[in-house]
Structure 1
């Protein structure tokens, strides 16, 4: 297996593991709309299959729940349509209230993650910070970065991979410390 295929496989695995760790939040969201735990499990399972196909669309460092929630909502609506169950006004109001509550929670979670990310970014060596700045702030391509820094394309790829990996591990460590008693 070549390196690109391994990186794609690693990315897919990370996204799916992240979704699995957020499965209870997605189930709660689906259940709040369906009031049927079995149906909610079916919906979230369908979303899991969608995520397995569309994992490349997920932007690492963002909330998997926020990314999956519209998929869950769409699958709930599809489930309701297929089961010929009509949505009442109360159902729609409840769904909107649940959306607002999830948005608020996700905003809080994102604020904590951003603070952790800033702290972890400050700990990276300056060369890695520069690579990340060029790639994500300046939105430079790999080839442009290689030319600007006078390094090979492969060095850019590997260095960015290592920098993202370091940041992810650092942020995860902060989160684990917060969650652990």
Structure 2
């Protein structure tokens, strides 16, 4: 590190919450690839989130969150599988490991495709709409601030946000379908 660079700031509790919420769907999909039903996924996610929270200070940076979280979640899923195995309706550990490895590889590629489509679609919106779409992911009541500065009610902004999100989702879906063909 050169003397002019500041040392990286440690991640905070709000960073953990933001990263966990950002990656929760990917984590759920990953857990579902190993577990036979959604109740087991919910339990594994809950247990993994507690462990992640306790060990969050060990994480070096935001970029490593998802792989780090998947390692923790994988162990929780394998533990859940051991408990569920008593029912005698689960696959072997080797098969589950192979499924998890394949799901992780596919998911990483798919996430990159979705991010690319999302970035491309976001650029099609005018800057005020881009700001509104990103506002819920900012800290400190950005939607409220935007509503007040625009002279509208917060409720009106959330309705507009819902319509913009739908347009964004449609655009992303369309881009992904075009790439698949």
Give the TM-score category using the shorter length.
0.5 to 0.7
CA distance in 1, matches of 2:136, 2:92: 44
Partner residue in 2 for 1:179: 180
Q: Secondary structure at the match of 2:141?
A: coil
CA contact (8 A) 2:147 2:153 kept: yes
CA distance in 1, matches of 2:128, 2:155: 15
CA contact (8 A) 2:132 2:143 kept: no
Alpha carbons of structure 1 residues 124 and 61: separation in structure 2 relative to 1, 3 Å: farther
Which consecutive residues of structure 2, in runs of 5 or more, have no partner in the other structure? Answer: 1-19, 38-78
CA distance in 2, matches of 1:148, 1:134: 13
Alpha carbons of structure 1 residues 82 and 165: separation in structure 2 relative to 1, 3 Å: closer
Q: Secondary structure at the match of 1:123?
A: coil
Q: Secondary structure at the match of 2:34?
A: helix
Equivalent in 15, 18, 28 of residue 67 of structure 1: 28
CA contact (8 A) 1:135 1:145 kept: no
CA distance in 2, matches of 1:118, 1:103: 22
CA contact (8 A) 1:117 1:171 kept: yes
Deviations 1:131-165 (A, max 9, x none): 12222234636434422443211221121111111
CA distance in 2, matches of 1:67, 1:93: 21
Q: Secondary structure at the match of 2:92?
A: helix
CA contact (8 A) 1:66 1:106 kept: no
Q: Mapping of 1:32-181 within 5 angstroms?
A: 66-71=27-32, 73-75=34-36, 84=86, 91-138=92-139, 140=141, 142-180=143-181
Deviations 1:81-106 (A, max 9, x none): 67745699x92133122211101100
Alpha carbons of structure 1 residues 101 and 151: separation in structure 2 relative to 1, 3 Å: same
CA distance in 2, matches of 1:120, 1:162: 14
CA contact (8 A) 2:144 2:154 kept: yes
Alpha carbons of structure 1 residues 105 and 63: separation in structure 2 relative to 1, 3 Å: farther
Give the TM-score of the pair, scaled to structure 2.
0.52
Q: For the aligned residues, what is the CA RMSD?
A: 3.7
How many residues get paired? 121
Alpha carbons of structure 1 residues 65 and 153: separation in structure 2 relative to 1, 3 Å: closer
Give the TM-score of the pair, scaled to structure 1.
0.52
